[in-house]
Amino acid sequence: MKKVTIIGGGGTAIFMATYLTLQGHQITVCDEEWHGAKLRAVQEAGNGVDLIGNCGTGHAVIHKITFDVASSLADAEVVLVSAMAKRHDAITDWIAPHLKDGQVVCFSAGNCASITLKKKLGGKKVIVGEMQGNIGPCRLVAPTTVTCAFPYAEKPVAAFPAKDNDALVAGLSPVYPCHAVKNVFQTTLSSPNVAIHLAGTLLNTSKMETMNDFRLYQDGMSPSVAEVISVVEDEREKVMDQMGYARTRAVGQIYALLEYPKHPEVAQFRVLAGPTKGVHDRYVVEDAYAGNSLLASIAKNFGIETPVVNALITLASVLNKEDFYASGLTLENLGLAGKSVEEINDYLETGELK
């Protein structure tokens, strides 16, 4: 049994807490008061949550739900952070003063938040890293019921700095089996969300705004949408090759969604609800701000053409009246613009910018 604190109050955090409680771990969940409505609903039910779906079933009683960050982190061995990328700066400010030597912190999904947190820890010997994408396609389907469409699969992870990869895997594996990849740029860029979310959502704007119960993977997938997602992956592959990172492709899953009789294994994934907030949903806001902007900025740095990715970021920015590239996760904002591949990867490996 591990003592695990989950920072976050949304559906993914509650799913994590439920799943890990059923796995025998002692779980504390904590978020800021303003984001605590869903956690308070669970508290009112005696901390009990039901898990359904392909990741298992059962009733879990979460050990502790609190809004006191100091107490939540006091004896945690592993800290999992589940929050949108645009919250990462505030959350790292909130938790950094209370983290202690020997703790392991992992973001799901990371979007390079480990870089942000590490800078705020001073000399503390805290292992910081992140997962490739989210922990799984999960939803809060009722105030005290969560589901996940797929069984848990071993997650790629990376630490910042990547020289701590072995320590991250050792600390995290008793909670979530995982294996290391090169660095946090690779985990961020390899997320399936980078390829799927912006293209899939923006090409379905009219459906999202006119349907009462829009479900992207059931109502929004078509051969044309899959083709755009495939082109985004082609553009991503050019950047991954430039950086020396292993390639990943998610579009095969999209084609599987279109072949209903042949792929019963994606049936629960197909009917996941959302996006629920249209063009303002995290499927647009988070992925334009984080993974896609990082992808576009690396391409720009090395003269790689990514016209479709650039167009999707532009559309997302227009629809939200916010310049996601200017404010987002880019080489410019990380202080890495103009650096070579070797300089960037060395920084991600050592944590030192030379």
Residue 286 has a pLDDT of 97
* Average pLDDT of the residues in 287-298: 98
The yes-or-no verdict on residue 354 having pLDDT over 90 is no
* Average pLDDT of the residues in 252-273: 92
What count of other Cβ atoms lies within 10 Å of the Cβ of residue 237? 14
How far is C-alpha 83 from the chain's CA centre?
Answer: 8
Cβ proximity of 298 and 165 under 8 Å: no
The token pair at 68 is 């006191």
Q: What is the pLDDT of residues 108-128, one digit of tens each?
A: 999 999 999 999 999 999 999
Residue 156 has a pLDDT of 97
State the angle between helix axes of 192-202 and 251-258 in degrees (0 to 180), rounded to the nearest 10: 50
H helices of 96-222, in order, are 113-120, 165-172, 184-190, 192-202, 205-210, 216-219
Please state, in angstroms and rounded to a whole number, the distance separating the CA atoms of residues 171 and 109. Answer: 18
* Average pLDDT of the residues in 298-312: 98
DSSP structure string for 11-68: HHHHHHHHHHHHTT-EEEEE--GGG-HHHHHHHHTTTEEEEEETT--EEEE-SEEES-
- The residue count of the chain comes to 354
Please state, in angstroms and rounded to a whole number, the distance separating the CA atoms of residues 235 and 108. Answer: 24
Cβ proximity of 201 and 279 under 8 Å: yes
In which element (H, E) is residue 8 found?
A: none
Q: What angle do CA 153, 87, 179 make, to 5 degrees?
A: 25
Residue 260 has a pLDDT of 84
Model confidence pTM above 0.95: yes
Query: What φ, ψ does residue 187 adopt, rounded to 5°?
Result: -65, -40
Residue 169 has a pLDDT of 98
b/e 191-216 (16+ beta carbons within 10 angstroms → b): bbbbbbbbbbbbbbeeebeeeeebbb
Q: What is the pLDDT of residues 309-325, one digit of tens each?
A: 999 999 999 999 999 99
